Amino acid sequence: MNQSNAPKACAGRVAAPIVGAASCDLQAAVALLRRGEILGIPTETVYGLGADATNGLACARIFEAKGRPSFNPLIAHCASLEMALGQGVFSKKAIGLAEAFWPGALTLVVRRHPASAVADLVTAGLDTIAIRVPDAPIMRALIEGLGAPIAAPSANRSGHVSATTALAVAEDLGGSLALIIDAGPSPVGVESTIVDMSGKTPVLLRPGGLARADIEAVLGEPLDSPTHPAGDRPSAPGMLAAHYAPSCPVRLEAAGARPGEGLIAFGPGAACGPGGSGGPGDAVRIVNLSPGGDLREAAANLFAALRSLDAAGVAGIAVMPIPATGLGEAINDRLRRAALGRLAETR
Ligand code: TXA
Ligand code: MG
């Protein structure tokens, strides 16, 4: 059922072909991922909107397709615990949970491994990373074929419920995807349980397909509830208490840089100008998110830009206006949070 390679009309756009998992050409699907395409992929919890997690542009397309007005960090799906160990730093307890429940409906938040090649957009610039080894064979086969994690949020448009059938994926997102793989209704039907293992105590960030009691039985201790300390600990998914924020002030809608400031520019001709005038020429360092004015490229470069200016020790970061259309909404949301986070700290 639902096996067709012929694109269908969907909400006025050409919809992605839906192919059954059993007849899916794995090499071709991996080739699409390598090209930076995004696919609808079944997992045992819900369908995922998957991209090569090491490809920043492909990950930017995920946010574009979902119409998310902000950059929530994504789950990096791995084929095995071994692959996961290359992406995150696991405590003994975290390894215990992984061994007990992977592959399965458990996502672990751990410190990001310094050697992980996952794009900054996947972790939303945080130094933690959410990792899951899914049980769905087709998803694991794609990850193995790609040789890298697949970043995948639930395959629904922002604000809609998670898709548990290929048809629901097609209805919600079909026009943005290169391919939808159909493995029938998701057997678990709710998202994975998310446990933060990056701090002193394990914290249940999101209840999901794996019961709290089962996790606590393996841990031998209760799971904490998310708290909102002033620090940088992520709280409930989708509502991180603190996002990555540079340690210096961030000034938005800047016409140019003041002396000592680093400058984030966007678009052609935005990164040059005379010095001493409060224009681009005064910046001690300039990063142009996308000289060609491409918002997808700007999204992919955003966190690295903030981080590199921060690391360069600039007195502040001035950000030139970035259009609020398409992915620009999420880019501006994140920049506003970076600016506000710093203000809140200094008050
Ligand atoms: O079952 C699932 O988990 C599905 C399938 C596709 O794997 N995925 C899913 O992804 O539900 P998504 O993006 O809809 O939800 C993942 C949640 C987000 O709300 C995000 O905030 C949270 O995980 N998350 C990701 N990285 C995090 C981190 N480093 N710290 C805290 N929360 C994180
Ligand atoms: Mg979701």
Check whether 342 has a pLDDT greater than 60.
Answer: no
What is this structure's pTM?
A: 0.86
Distances in whole angstroms, Cα of residue 308 to Cα of each of 235, 262, 328: 26, 10, 21
Contacts with 256 (C-beta within 8 Å, 6 or more apart), sequence order: 263, 273, 277, 278, 279, 280, 281, 282, 283, 318, 320
pLDDT for res 161: 87
Closest-CA residue, ligand 1 atom 22, reads 237
pLDDT for res 69: 80
State whether the beta carbon of 32 lies less than 6 angstroms from ligand 1: no
Which-ligand-closest: CA of 71? 1
pLDDT for res 49: 97
- The domains located in the chain, with CATH, are 6-219 (3.90.870.10), 250-346 (3.40.50.11030)
- Reported as a single tens digit per residue, the pLDDT across 40-85 is 999 999 999 999 999 999 999 999 999 888 888 999 999 999 999 9
Check whether 1 has a pLDDT greater than 70.
Answer: no
Q: Are strands 13-14 and 150-151 parallel, antiparallel or unpaired?
A: unpaired
State whether the beta carbon of 234 lies less than 6 angstroms from ligand 1: yes
Which-ligand-closest: CA of 105? 1
Taking all residues of the chain, what is their mean pLDDT, rounded to a whole number? 87
Check whether 314 has a pLDDT greater than 60.
Answer: yes
State whether the beta carbon of 75 lies less than 6 angstroms from ligand 1: yes
pLDDT for res 235: 42
pLDDT for res 126: 92
pLDDT band at 281 (very low <50, low <70, confident <90, very high): low
